[in-house]
Amino acid sequence: MTEDLLPALAARAAAAAHARDPACPCTAATLVHREDTTVVRHAVAVAKAHPAETDTAELAVRTAVAARLPGILLPPLTPAPAELHGRPVTYWPYGMPVGPDDPDAAPWEEAGVLLARLHRTPLPEAVPPMRGPEKAARAVALLGDLAPRHPAAAPVLDAWADLPPWARGEAPAPGPVRLCHGDFHLGQLIRDRAPGGPWLLIDVDDLGAGPPVWDLARPAAWYAVGMLDPDAWHLFLTAYRAAGGPAVPPDGDPWPVLDVPARALTAQTAARAVTKAAAAGRPLDEVEEWLVDACARMRSVPAAAPAD
Amino acid sequence: MQCPKCRAPMHTYNRNGVQIEQCSGCRGIFLDYGELEALTRLESQWSQPAPPPPAAPQAYPPAAAPQAPAWGAPHGGHYGGHRRHKSFGHMLFSS
């Protein structure tokens, strides 16, 4: 079925592009082709086939939210998901991604502002829960299933086991919920192709109601582990606060709030890395070791308890 | 190398041009022959020419590093020098 999907999806993307631009240059590319997700581009249009098990009603709500928040989220080309080979399909305008070779040039400030604006949006009616903790739980469970005897598995599984139930996706988060992206990383930012066009957030698959601090916690984890330039982290956090982002107090130490979700996202990233390395039969590389080392240190440092 | 005290792996850091090894577990520091002297020398360079009283607190230009959790990488991270590592770029662009 996956073999049939790709050409069919490419044809749909072409049709979407030609509807918008009769003089289409017909440049086409497969942007993502994984077992569960396929994304193809045809000039100005992008078609995304979501995982077969996607709840289509929830996806429709999430896509509708994107349509209603221009300037924050990329609006879809068509309001409702379609269906193709048993997979929900959505259509989007093509935008320029962040250059993968230069994370320092990433729009950290703009990202902070976009997330602050997203979190300040009144929570749309009927929006499903944000799926971040659930996906982290899945990554850690996969490590436990596939590579439990890998020497790096124990520190990651222990760090995860020490987390409170909400961060493992087993209970609702304490504190107020907001509209969250749910899976923020640098691949989730695109820029309108017009010169100087604004940056926008993409990928609504995990969007929903949840603790907004989750969206800050992945960059926080990268910074804590030593992967992210302190200046980039500072820019991102400062811009988020200046834009009135509600996830952290407006000044002072943000770590009492960031600590638990940053631990969870460090464990998730470490779990993915160890699972992949084990499957490939290769040793962990240096960055992957940093993630596992950070997990190993967590047990000796009690988790912060936020004031509320 | 392994920490002689707790056996956890040790990582190398550069402090003002001096390579030091720090344990990822107990955070103990290992110095090679001559490194303590190099650090002492650096320290005396800082204190010797009694600096004129700074005009403003900005005398030390880099602002305080942002706060970090105690389980994070020692002293603000490994950042720098390791940037082009294979998995590094990929991780910033994926879940």
What is the number of structural domains in chain A? 2
The number of distinct structural domains making up chain B is 1
**Stretch among A75-84, A93-102, A126-135, A213-222 having the lowest mean pLDDT:** A93-102
Q: What residues 217-236 of chain A have any CB closer than 8 A to a CB of chain B?
A: 222-230, 233-234
Give the residue-averaged pLDDT of A127-139: 97
pLDDT tens profile A292-302: 999 999 998 88
CATH number of the domain enclosing A84: 3.30.200
Is B67 inside any structural domain? no
B95 is a domain residue: no
Surface-to-core class of residue A134, CB atoms within 10 Å of its CB (0-12 exposed, 13-18 middle, 19+ buried): middle
More confident site: B14 or A81: A81
Six token digits for residue A196: 């100087």
Show contacts of A188-195: CB within 8 Å, 24+ apart. Answer: A189/A97, A189/A98, A189/A106, A189/A107, A189/A110, A189/A111, A189/A114, A190/A74, A190/A95, A190/A96, A190/A97, A190/A98, A191/A95, A191/A96, A191/A97, A191/A107, A192/A95, A192/A96, A193/A44, A193/A94, A193/A95, A193/A96
Higher model confidence: residue A236 or residue B83?
A236
Same-domain pairing of A235 and A287: yes
Please tell me whether residues A144 and A254 are part of one structural domain.
yes
Do A65 and A151 share a domain, yes or no? no
| Same domain (yes/no): A198, A280 | yes
Residues of chain A contacting residue B86, judged by C-beta atoms under 8 Å apart:
285, 287
Decide if pLDDT at A2 tops 70: no
pTM value is 0.82
Mark A287-302 as b/e (b = at least 16 C-beta within 10 Å).
bbbbbbbbbbbbeeee
Q: Is B7 on the interface with A (CB under 8 A)?
A: no
Between the alpha carbon of residue A208 and those of residues A100, A127, A277, the distances in Å are 27, 6, 32
Look at residue A141 and tell me if it is in a domain. Answer: yes
Contact A185 B9 (CB under 8 A): no
Write down the ipTM of this complex. 0.84
Nearest to A303 by CA among A260, A254, A253, A255: A260
Nearest residue in chain B measured CA to CA from A290 = B73
Q: What is the mean pLDDT of residues A184-208?
A: 92
Interface of B with A in 34-93 (CB under 8 A): 65-73, 76-80, 82, 85-89, 91-93
Cα separations in angstroms, B26 against A261, A263, B4, B21, B74: 24, 19, 11, 12, 11
Please indicate, yes or no, if residue A32 is contained in any of the structural domains: yes
Q: Are A153 and A244 part of one and the same domain?
A: yes
Q: Which domain holds residue A157?
A: 103-298
Chain A contact for B12 (CB, 8 A cutoff): no
Does residue A157 share a domain with residue A289?
Answer: yes
CB A298, CB A263: distance < 8 Å? yes
Chain A residues 64-93 with a CB less than 8 Å from chain B:
none
Distance from C-alpha of B44 to C-alpha of B32, rounded to nearest angstrom: 20
Whether the CB of A183 is below 8 Å from some CB of chain B: the reply is: yes
Is residue A231 in some structural domain? yes
List the structure tokens of A227: 């992967």
Q: Where are the alpha helices (DSSP H) in A243-302?
A: 255-280, 286-298
Q: Which domain holds residue B9?
A: 1-46
**Whole-angstrom Cα distance, residue A256 to residue A86?**
44
- Ramachandran angles phi, psi of A216, nearest 5°: -90, -15
pLDDT of residue B48: 57
| pLDDT tens across the length of chain B (95 residues) | 787 888 888 877 766 666 777 877 777 777 777 777 777 776 666 655 555 555 444 434 445 667 899 999 875 556 654 455 556 778 888 88
Are residue A66 and residue A169 in the same domain, yes or no?
A: no
Residue B69 C-alpha, separation from nearest chain A C-alpha, in angstroms:
7
Q: Identify whether the C-beta of residue B24 lies closer than 8 Å to the C-beta of residue B12.
A: no
Lowest-confidence pick of A113-127, A190-204, B27-41: B27-41
Q: What count of Cα atoms within 13 Å lies in the side-chain half-sphere of residue A3?
A: 0
C-alpha to C-alpha distance for A119 and A241, rounded to whole angstroms: 12
Torsion of CA A247, A249, A252, A253, to 10 degrees: -40
- Provide the number of CB pairs (under 8 Å) joining chain A to chain B: 109
Quick check: A255 pLDDT over 80?
A: yes
E strand intervals along chain A: 28-33, 38-42, 45-49, 82-84, 87-93, 96-97, 178-180, 189-191, 199-201, 208-210
The answer to whether residue B41 sits within a structural domain is yes
Question: Left (φ > 0), alpha (ψ -120 to 50) or beta: where does A202 sit?
Answer: beta
